[in-house]
Amino acid sequence: MTYWGYLVIAIVAEVIATTALKPSDGFSRVLPSLVVVLGYGVAFYCLALALKHIPVGVAYAIWSGVGVVAVTFLAWLFLGQRLDLPALAGMALIVAGVIVINLFSGSVSH
């Protein structure tokens, strides 16, 4: 597995864990609470592996940017969260930032 693959797994696990926070109802429901704990465990483990070769600032920018957009999309899709134009514009800026980092930053080694 490549270090970028570990970062992808970390992002997916974090998104799943974060999305399960609301259904966990303050950790009062067992199954969603387990998803949260296991998801964050996998996320941080894989992030730590990714950081062996990806600069921490770059990895965190990608993780947080992609994570914010993915969690917001899932909350809209499954939890009824409403998104107005400013929210959508902000998401577009986050995506643009991740793209700029990946395509143009000398800090990223593919």
What is the 8-class DSSP label of residue 84? -
Instruction: Answer whether residue 30 is part of any domain.
Output: yes
Q: Identify residue 20 by its one-letter amino acid code.
A: A
Q: pLDDT-derived band of residue 63, with 50, 70 and 90 as boundaries?
A: very high
Instruction: Answer whether residue 65 is part of any domain.
Output: yes
Residue 11: domain span? 3-104
Q: How far apart are CA 11 and CA 16, in angstroms?
A: 9
Instruction: Answer whether residue 59 is part of any domain.
Output: yes
Instruction: Answer whether residue 90 is part of any domain.
Output: yes
Q: Which two structure tokens, joined as six digits, stand for 67? A: 């994570």
Q: Which two structure tokens, joined as six digits, stand for 109? A: 């080694």
Task: Give me the DSSP letters along 67-83.
Answer: HHHHHHHHHHHHS----
Instruction: Answer whether residue 56 is part of any domain.
Output: yes
Instruction: Answer whether residue 93 is part of any domain.
Output: yes
Q: What is the pLDDT of residues 67-94, one digit of tens each?
A: 999 999 999 998 888 989 999 999 899 8
What is the 8-class DSSP label of residue 36? H
Domain count, the chain: 1
Instruction: Answer whether residue 45 is part of any domain.
Output: yes
Residues 43, 13 contacting (CB under 8 angstroms): yes
Q: Which two structure tokens, joined as six digits, stand for 83? A: 């998104």
Instruction: Tell me the backbone φ, ψ of residue 71, rounded to 5 degrees.
Output: -65, -40
Q: How far apart are CA 110 and CA 105, in angstroms?
A: 11
Q: What is the pLDDT of residues 12-51, one digit of tens each?
A: 999 999 999 999 999 999 999 999 999 999 999 999 999 9
Question: How many angstroms separate the most distant Cα atoms in the chain?
Answer: 45
Instruction: Answer whether residue 110 is part of any domain.
Output: no
Does 55 score more than 60 pLDDT? yes
